[in-house]
Chain A
Amino acid sequence: MIRQLRSEIAKVTTTTTLIGMLAALAGLVALAIVVHTYALPVDRVATRTGQRELLTEVGVGLGGLFAALIGALSITTEFRTGTIRPTLLAAPRRSKVIVAKALTAFFTGAVAVLVSTGTASLTAAVSLRVRDLTSMSTTGDYVDLLAGGAVGGGLLGVLGLAVGAIIRAQVPTFVVLFTWLLFIENVLVELPHAHRFAPGALAQGLAAQDREGIIQTVWLSAVLLAVYACAAVVVSVAATNRRDVV
């Protein structure tokens, strides 16, 4: 397992895909924060609750989406380029490959959300100051946002990997992830009792997001999201074991 993990980490670090994705994420987050801090009314962005909600929505929301996409890329790219064949020739026990990829996706997903929440925090601090507003977030808020967000991002990365392993084709996988995280979860906001159990909402719960439709207990969010991620990995291992690689 260790050698497969080292190989998977080498795959991530020997192309510019991850750096490119993280740079795009940081740019998008900075833009979103600037737009929101200027567009939203003062009473929404001047309070600690409002600022915290904004940082979590943008930082963990966009970061979580990118975490899932990066996780999905780690396997769909292998199918797209054909590198899945040499990968499985070197490690024919496919469960080992998927688990190593899941651990790597957890790491890259956590990094994505750290980049995202870090960029959101820094941009918000500057942007609020320019608007003559004070950043009200406490050290504890930032710890919740960064640490909780990173764990949530890691688990969303694992979910993205699992979806990619099940679907295999890159574009359909991206369509599924975008549709779920950007559309369905936003529709579910109108049904808070259902929304709170959605993966993206659980990731925000892990970052201690405090609003309706989010589970307020961090550990419960962590456990539920971890259960989803583990279940998805089990299904993806079964699907990978059953199907031929052409």
Chain B
Amino acid sequence: MTTAPVVEVSGLTKTYGGVRAVDELSFTLDAGQIIGFLGPNGAGKSTTLRLLLGLASPTSGSALVLGRSYAELAEPARRVGAVLEHADFHPNRSGRAHLRVLALASAIDGARVEEVLELVELTAAADRKVGSYSLGMAQRLGLAAALLGDPTLLVLDEPINGLDPAGVHWLRAFLRRFADQGGAALVSSHVLAEVEQSVDRALVINGGRLLGDFSITEISRAGQSLEQAYLALTGAVAS
């Protein structure tokens, strides 16, 4: 029996004023997998994530989560957790209040707010205004928000920006545990060395187009690093 993919992107295209930010992009993400979503600045990664999460509408094609568009998901916060920008907070609201606001919108129990604060080790700073948080603390608060609904899919845009080495180590272990328990994660990042240690597959895009889709194991077998494979792909486009 085959299981439907957690994410199914098919012929996805997004045009802004005649410029194709995403161009006929297709890929799938299955349960238990972590995909690294790689590409230079302006490659179309963030746009793709926004299309997947229903924040932007595709010009053509589709981006489905668990077989439906994001807007059609029942209880989306319990299916998908996302961190798109580390600064998506009101600076005068406390970390705890930020999570509480999101929990109320998804009918998530207040006890879960305390659980995720504990999980990302922010309990002691939870009543401080988010404006006083360091970049790493803000990143961990974003992760806490993504985990509130105990989702099946995590969509993380540059999740290790601002994290200290312990935080990066924690995130890597957390993602592996999450995937081993049947979760799926789509992780956009520029830090190739870290991605190589964290993900099962890498998708490389540039100019909105998919340049490569390979498993990390395949690259290792070929005696290459992810960085070499990435540069070979994106360099070919640049030339």
Chain B associates with chain A = yes
**Residues 3-27 of chain A, each 1 if its beta carbon lies under 8 Å from chain B, else 0:** 1101100110011110000000000
Q: Assess whether A10 is in contact with B104, with CB atoms less than 8 Å apart.
A: yes
Q: Are A16 and B92 touching (Cβ within 8 A)?
A: yes
The answer to whether B88 and A246 have CB atoms under 8 Å apart is no
**Cβ A3 vs Cβ B104 within 8 A:** yes
Distance between Cα atoms of A17 and B90 in the complex (Å): 11
CB pair A85–B55 under 8 Å, yes or no, is yes
Q: Mark A76-95, 1 if CB is under 8 A from B, else 0.
A: 01000111011111111100
A245 to B51, CA, bound (A): 10
Contacts of A7 in B (CB 8 A): 101-102, 104-105
Contact B93 A15 (CB under 8 A): yes
Chain B residues with Cβ under 8 A from A43's Cβ? none
What distance in Å separates the Cβ of A216 from its nearest Cβ neighbour in chain B?
Answer: 43
Question: Considering only CB atoms, which chain A residue lies closest to B155 in the complex?
Answer: A89
Chain B interface (Cβ within 8 Å of chain A)? 50, 53-57, 70-71, 73, 76-77, 80, 82, 84-85, 87-94, 97, 100-102, 104-107, 145
CA A31 to CA B165, docked complex, whole Å:
56
10 contacts between A and B (CB under 8 A): A7-B104, A11-B90, A82-B85, A82-B89, A86-B102, A90-B76, A90-B102, A90-B106, A92-B54, A245-B55
Q: Is A132 an interface residue, CB under 8 A from the partner?
A: no
Q: Report if A93-B88 is in contact (Cβ < 8 Å); known contacts: A3-B104, A88-B55.
A: no
- Are the C-beta atoms of A88 and B54 separated by less than 8 Å? yes
**Shortest beta-carbon distance, B65 to chain A, in Å?**
11
> Whose C-beta in chain A lies nearest to the C-beta of B99?
A86
Q: A10-B100, A15-B93, A86-B102 given. 12 additional CB < 8 A pairs?
A: A7-B104, A14-B94, A15-B92, A17-B92, A81-B88, A81-B90, A82-B85, A86-B88, A89-B53, A89-B80, A89-B82, A93-B71
User: Shortest beta-carbon distance, B104 to chain A, in Å?
Assistant: 4
Do B91 and A81 touch (CB < 8 A)?
yes
Cα A7 to Cα B92 in complex, Å, equals 16
In the assembly, what is the distance between CA of A187 and CA of B148, in Å? 52
| Bound form: Cα–Cα A88–B76 in Å | 10
A4, A87, A90: residue with the most chain B Cβ atoms closer than 10 Å = A90
Interface size on A, residues (CB 8 A): 26
Q: Are B71 and A90 in contact (CB under 8 A)?
A: no
Let me know if A246 and B97 touch, CB within 8 A: no
- In the complex, are the beta carbons of A91 and B105 less than 8 A apart? yes
Question: Which B residue sits closest to A81, measured CB to CB?
Answer: B90
- Cβ contact of A244, chosen from B55, B73, B94, B100, cutoff 8 A: B55
Partner of A83, one of B70, B71, B89, B106: B89
Q: A245 to B56, Cβ gap below 8 A?
A: yes
**A81/B76 in contact, CB under 8 A:** no
With A90-B105, A90-B106, A244-B57 in contact, is A85–B100 under 8 Å at CB?
no
A10 adjacent to B50 (CB under 8 Å): no
Q: Which residue of A lies closest to B56 (CB)?
A: A244
Asked whether, in the complex, the Cβ of B87 is within 8 Å of the Cβ of A82, the reply is yes
Minimum Cβ distance to chain A for residue B94 (Å): 7
Q: Do residues B90 and A77 form an inter-chain contact, with CB atoms below 8 A?
A: yes
Q: From residue B112, how far is it (CB to closest CB) to chain A in Å?
A: 13
Distance in Å from the Cβ of A22 to the closest Cβ of chain B?
A: 16
Bound complex: CA of A244 vs CA of B54, how far in Å?
9
Q: Is the CB of B105 within 8 A of A246?
A: no
Q: Which of A14, A90, A91, A246 is the one whose CB lies under 8 Å from B56?
A: A246
A81 in contact with B89 given A92-B54, A245-B50 (CB within 8 Å): yes
Expressed in whole angstroms, the Cα–Cα distance for A17 and B50 within the complex equals 29
Contacts of B71 in A (CB 8 A): 92-93
In the bound complex, what is the Cα–Cα distance between A92 and B69 (angstroms)?
A: 10
Residues of the A chain whose Cβ atoms lie less than 8 Å from the Cβ of B97: 10, 14
Residue of B54, B91, B93, B105 touching A87 (CB-CB under 8 A): B105
Q: A15-B93, A92-B76, A244-B56 are in contact. Are A3 and B105 (CB under 8 A)?
A: yes
